[in-house]
Amino acid sequence: MTTSAKLWVRLPLGALSGLLAGFAALAVAELVSAAVRPQAGPLTAVGGAAIDRTPTPVKDWAIRHFGEDDKLVLQLGILATLAALAIVLGVVALRFRRVGAAGVLIFGVIGATAALTRPDSTGFTDALPSVVGAVVAAVLLYYLIGRLTRPPRADRATADADSDRGAGWDRRGFVIGASAAAVASLGVGALGRYLTGNASQAAVESRNAVRLPAPASPAPPLPAGTQLKVPGISRFTTPNKAFYRVDTALVVPKVDADTWRLRIHGRGVARPVTLTFEDLLRRELIERDITLTCVSNEVGGPYVGNARWLGVRLADVLAEAGVRPPSKGGPADQLVARSVDGMTLGSPVEAAMDGRDAMLAVGMNGQPLPFIHGFPVRMLIPGLYGYVSACKWIEDIELTTFADYDPYWVKRSWARRAPIKTQSRIDVPKPLSRSKAGTVMVAGVAWAQHRGIDRVQVQVDDGPWRDADLATEANIDTWRQWSFPWKATPGSHTLTVRATERGGQVQTEKRTGTVPDGASGWPSVVVTID
Ligand SMILES: Nc1nc2c(c(=O)[nH]1)N[C@H]1C(S)=C(S)[C@@H](COP(=O)(O)O)O[C@H]1N2
Ligand SMILES: [Mo]
């Protein structure tokens, strides 16, 4: 009778001990990583390793289903898994106390390995958050389980004498130990969070201190009529807060502009250079409206945005370093940009130097780059998908060849070269919406960066293709708005749109997925007219 009662009490308390140990591990790791490097924390390191190892189709699926919450979903998934394993270890420890504690240490080794093998790892200290966290947790689990499986010291002599070991348990010791562990973990974790926040303070202050100089070559004012006045259409210039974000960073890098450096080196670089943020701001700055697009954007998807960027012409910086494009006999055809978080993006050297406004951007819509968009400096090459052109938090540019080096995304089955495909999107009416019969405004955006949009056509059901009205073009590197006043009749209708780029090439009807070089096909919406 006593045995079953004990089991009922012990199982949940064993599970609770496991959970408390797991919580303590993460809290201690949080504090240690504040001292070492926030990115070296086990959740971030394991999460990052998981992102890098996620098969491309799964990652694509996650982006499609969770959008920009994909990282949150991943971290919640890791936390849930850890919690489940912590419970198992706690229960196992009831029977095999040392095995439970050793199990906790194994998790420490996994976390430490992940941290040490991250591309941005800065050395053995990156293992410390996981190792120290795991050691503390193992000791805690060992202690708590001890309270559950052994009677209190005072009773032990009698218990032993009764040869009834294990009949009792140290209720008082457990309650005190568990509560103390919970409270201490909360405190330690909160302190860690606070210190991490403080550590990024220098970066925040350096960003606040940035005064963006006026550009030597300002963007021409937007011509009247670039922004259509159709309710529900995208804004021509995407506000920074609404700009899409796609990257692999679980912790947004907070780079101090005062200590930031950009190194340019590699094949055919006659004069390798290292530039500071000040160096960039002192140079001649250009300002341009450029529409950025992600290769993971589905037909009709949200990963496209247009901003007014301020920066230094990349071609000038490269030329000063002695770089010649392949067309002028330069030995390097690939430019590999590397970020502070170890991301690598490969762009054609030719595109960076062929006269388009490829830039090292320092400003976005009149502000220093927001941290999530790459502060202090990111690269941009109009006409190319973000993953082959738009390195955020850039710190290194290496000139090499496509034959010699495959950057991050190319290793994960994306194309080496990826010009943006001509695409269009219907912003209004929304899919599956209802409108009243009469004139319904169909409107949206179309883009074919660095080629330009010449025509947009709309088809109702299986009817003829009819020309939409085009908004004024800002420049060939931006998207272009369009609208079509549709005489809508009652019933269910399918609206389809297609764009034609300058030169006459019509957006292809052929549906392809995003892998390996961007989705294609005509966007359409089904609407009901009452
Ligand atoms: N360091 C770094 N830069 C990066 C990425 C990344 O994961 N890490 N993602 C790229 C991709 S896939 C795209 S589409 C653009 C998105 O830029 P945004 O988040 O500012 O819109 O950044 C590019 N630059
Ligand atoms: Mo992307």
SS (H, E, C) 89-140: HHHHHHHCHHHHHHHHHHHHHHHHHHHHHCCCCCCHHHHHHHHHHHHHHHHH
Count of helices and strands (H, E) across the chain: 12, 19
Distance 154 CA to ligand 1 centre (A): 63
Instruction: Tell the residue nearest (CA) to atom 10 of ligand 1.
Output: 387
Atom of ligand 1 nearest to the CA of 340: 1
Instruction: Tell the residue nearest (CA) to atom 13 of ligand 1.
Output: 386
* Cis upstream peptide for 516 (omega within 30°): yes
- Residue located via tokens 């738009």: 390
For 189-207, b where at least 16 C-beta lie within 10 A, e where not — what string? beebeeebeebbeebeebb
Atom of ligand 1 nearest to the CA of 373: 20
Cβ(36)–Cβ(129) below 8 Å: yes
Q: Please name the helix (run of DSSP H) or strand (run of DSSP E) that holds residue 176, with its range, or none.
A: helix 171-199
pLDDT for position 158: 58
Report CA 411 to chain centroid distance, whole Å: 18
For 152-171, b where at least 16 C-beta lie within 10 A, e where not — what string? eeeeeeebeeeeeeeebbbe
Positive or negative: CA dihedral 298, 299, 301, 303:
positive
Half-sphere exposure of 305 (CA within 13 A, CB side): 20
Please tell me what DSSP assigns to residue 393.
Answer: S
Q: Give the C-alpha separation, 172 to 89, whole Å.
A: 23
Query: Which amino acid is it at 208?
Result: N
Q: Give the C-alpha separation, 334 to 389, whole Å.
A: 11
Q: Which of 392, 393, 396, 408 to mutate to test the pocket of ligand 1 (most atoms within 8 A of CB)?
A: 392
Q: Please name the helix (run of DSSP H) or strand (run of DSSP E) that holds residue 287, with its range, or none.
A: strand 285-293
Atom of ligand 1 nearest to the CA of 305: 21
Q: Render each residue's pLDDT in the chain as its tens digit; 530 residues.
A: 344 457 888 999 999 999 999 999 999 999 999 999 999 999 999 999 999 999 988 888 888 788 888 889 999 999 999 999 999 999 999 999 999 999 999 999 999 999 999 999 999 999 999 999 999 999 999 999 999 988 777 766 655 544 444 457 899 999 999 999 999 999 999 999 999 888 899 999 999 999 999 999 999 999 999 999 999 999 999 999 999 999 999 989 999 999 999 999 999 999 999 999 999 999 999 999 999 999 999 999 999 999 999 999 999 999 999 999 999 999 999 999 999 999 999 999 999 999 999 999 999 999 999 999 999 999 999 999 999 999 999 999 999 999 999 999 999 999 999 999 999 999 999 999 999 999 999 999 999 999 999 999 999 999 999 999 999 999 999 999 999 999 999 999 999 999 999 999 999 999 999 999 999 999 999 999 99
Instruction: Tell the residue nearest (CA) to atom 21 of ligand 1.
Output: 245
pLDDT for position 155: 67
Please tell me what DSSP assigns to residue 237.
Answer: S
pLDDT for position 165: 46
Cβ(146)–Cβ(98) below 8 Å: no
Ligand approaching nearest to the C-alpha of 242: 1
Instruction: Tell the residue nearest (CA) to atom 12 of ligand 1.
Output: 387
Please tell me what DSSP assigns to residue 217.
Answer: B
Q: Give the C-alpha separation, 25 to 19, whole Å.
A: 10
Instruction: Tell the residue nearest (CA) to atom 8 of ligand 1.
Output: 247
Cα–Cα nearest to 196, from 394, 43, 363: 43
| Residues near ligand 1 (Cβ within 6 A) | 243-248, 292, 294, 339, 341, 343, 373, 386-387, 390-393
Instruction: Tell the residue nearest (CA) to atom 24 of ligand 1.
Output: 391
Cβ(108)–Cβ(135) below 8 Å: yes
Cβ(349)–Cβ(325) below 8 Å: yes
What tokens were used for 450? Answer: 């660095």
- Residue located via tokens 């994909």: 70
Separation in Å, CA 462 to CA 70, 183, 455, 465: 37, 67, 20, 9
Atom of ligand 1 nearest to the CA of 374: 20
Distance 9 CA to ligand 1 centre (A): 51
Q: Give the C-alpha separation, 476 to 420, whole Å.
A: 13
Instruction: Tell the residue nearest (CA) to atom 5 of ligand 1.
Output: 247
Q: Give the C-alpha separation, 249 to 240, whole Å.
A: 18
- Residue located via tokens 């009819």: 466
Q: Give the C-alpha separation, 345 to 388, whole Å.
A: 5
Q: Which strand ranges, in their side-by-side order, compose the sheet holding 524-529?
A: 434-435, 524-529, 491-501, 453-460, 465-467
Distance 211 CA to ligand 1 centre (A): 24
| Parallel/antiparallel/unpaired status of strands 261-266 and 394-400 | parallel
Helical H segments across 369-414, by residue range: none
Query: Which amino acid is it at 41?
Result: G
Distance 296 CA to ligand 2 centre (A): 6
Ligand approaching nearest to the C-alpha of 381: 1
Separation in Å, CA 352 to CA 203, 286, 420: 29, 15, 15
Atom of ligand 1 nearest to the CA of 245: 19
Positive or negative: CA dihedral 245, 246, 247, 251:
positive
Q: Which strand ranges, in their side-by-side order, compose the sheet holding 273-276?
A: 273-276, 261-266, 394-400, 334-339, 344-348
Cβ(455)–Cβ(502) below 8 Å: no
Q: Write the CB contacts of 453 (distance below 8 Å, at least 6 apart in sequence).
A: 422, 446, 447, 470, 473, 479, 480, 499, 500, 501, 502
- Has this prediction a pTM greater than 0.85? yes
Q: What is the DSSP string of 413-448?
A: T--S--BPPPEEEEEESPTT-EE-SEEEEEEEEEE-
Q: Give the C-alpha separation, 237 to 240, whole Å.
A: 9
- Residue located via tokens 């330009």: 452
Q: Give the C-alpha separation, 288 to 361, whole Å.
A: 10
* Cis upstream peptide for 376 (omega within 30°): yes
Q: Which of 54, 387, 395 to mutate to test the pocket of ligand 1 (most atoms within 8 A of CB)?
A: 387
